[in-house]
Amino acid sequence: MERGSSESFTRMGTLGIEEECFVVDDRGRPTSGTDELVYEHEPPELLEGRLDHELFKCVIETQTPLIETPSEARESLYAVREALISHAKSHGYRIAAAGLHPLATWRELEHAEKPRYRSQLDRIQYPQHRNTTAGVHIHVGVDDADKAVWIANELRWYVPIVLALSANSPFWNGFDTGLESARGKIFEALPNTGMPTYFEDFAAFDRFERRMLETDSIEDRGELWYDVRPHTAHGTVELRAPDGQADPEVVLAFVEYTHALVESLAEAYEDGERGYGYNHRRELLDENKWRAIRHGHEASFITRDLERTVELGELVDRECSRLGIDGIKDVYERESGASRQRRLREESVEALCESVILRANDDR
């Protein structure tokens, strides 16, 4: 039974970025291509061991190599995307990214044959059969296991901020859901998803992870699909909130913010601060997440002290000033992904499909 360990938490501030994307045809429609791209053809060297498929044969995942410092994130992300786009193109495919592909109809798409996914489909049934979601996962290295759990506890309040800024999935199964991030709600239908509860320390989280494995609640630790979690194999805190994004600069804004948050929270932990996480009921955090799902850039949230509400724009200004960053300000001030998709859908389905295509560096 594969387990993680407290000994994995050895390095502070490293980064890793995982992106789930859609394999599409020349018209931008989702198509089964992961068998060819993952199994039947050798991927570019950069993607060896860092390319996998997800539940559907139209969803592919990339992982960056270990990123030592934030300054290296841009080059690494662009290089991985370039390799994926080139690999797909050489076999007749294109790549798209959004929280949900606007034209994906789950009943018409093929599931992967991988035993892990076949087992999940059998165990979970309908919620997994329809799970055409795609997100961005950001790992930040933490050098102590108890510190990682404390940071994950605190990060829960920030999850809705990132989700609201990333909201990029208004369409699902052929219709407008009225949500800004339908992915956020659809994925929550699976077990062990959404906002995690508070854990007192690493020992408490380790007991939970072990109990879930020993009771056959999950088949491996990777099936703890919460919005934020200490990753007991990589020695990181993993934020799993953002919708997929076609624009790499939006992804990099979330990477910058997540890294700055984790570093700031690590300092607070080392200074002996009690934090807020112990007092954050999951139900109140779920309310903030719902506001992000429903309203996106127009959301307001219950504050960390639970005393009032605050608009997303005010939060973004405050966070950029506090942490010395600017990427999420740029994301907030631009048209949201959900709004852009709706606007382009009025123009044409073709324009909508093209809007979520990943572009090679020389095509931008």
> 22, 134 in Cβ contact below 8 A?
yes
| 246 pLDDT tier (thresholds 50, 70, 90) | very high
- When pLDDT is averaged across residues 64-82 and rounded to a whole number, the result is 97
Q: How do the domains of the chain map onto residue ranges?
A: 6-355
CATH number for the domain whose boundaries are 6-355? 3.30.590.20
To the nearest whole percent, how much of the chain has pLDDT over 70? Answer: 98
What pLDDT score was predicted for residue 73? 98
pLDDT in tens, 293-307: 999 999 999 999 999
* Stronger pLDDT, 61 or 114, i.e. the higher one: 61
Instruction: Give 364 or 124, the one with higher predicted confidence.
Output: 124
CA quadruple 34, 40, 44, 49: dihedral sign = positive
Nearest 5°: CA angle at 356, between 16 and 231? 20
For 135-163, the pLDDT digits (tens) are: 999 999 999 999 999 999 999 999 999 99
Burial class of residue 225 (count of CB atoms within 10 Å of its CB; 0-12, 13-18, 19+)? middle
Residue 1: per-residue pLDDT: 52
- Read off the tokens for 144: 């102590």
For residue 316, give the 3-state DSSP assignment: helix
319 three-class SS: helix
Q: What is the pLDDT of residue 112?
A: 85
Q: Where are the alpha helices (DSSP H) in the chain?
A: 34, 73-90, 115-124, 126-129, 145-155, 159-166, 182-187, 202-214, 248-270, 282-295, 312-323, 327-333, 337-347, 349-355
- For the chain, the average pLDDT equals 95
Mean pLDDT of 101-127: 90
pLDDT of 89 higher than 70: yes
Please, which pLDDT band fits residue 53 given cuts at 50, 70 and 90?
confident
> Stretch 73-78: mean pLDDT, rounded?
98
pTM as predicted: 0.96
pLDDT attached to residue 362: 58
- For 340, residues 6+ apart whose C-beta sits below 8 A from its C-beta are 355
What's the pLDDT tens digit per position in 13-23?
999 999 999 99
The pLDDT tens digits of the residues spanning 166-197 come to: 999 999 998 999 999 999 999 999 999 999 99
State residue 161's pLDDT score. Answer: 98
Which one-letter amino acid corresponds to residue 336? S
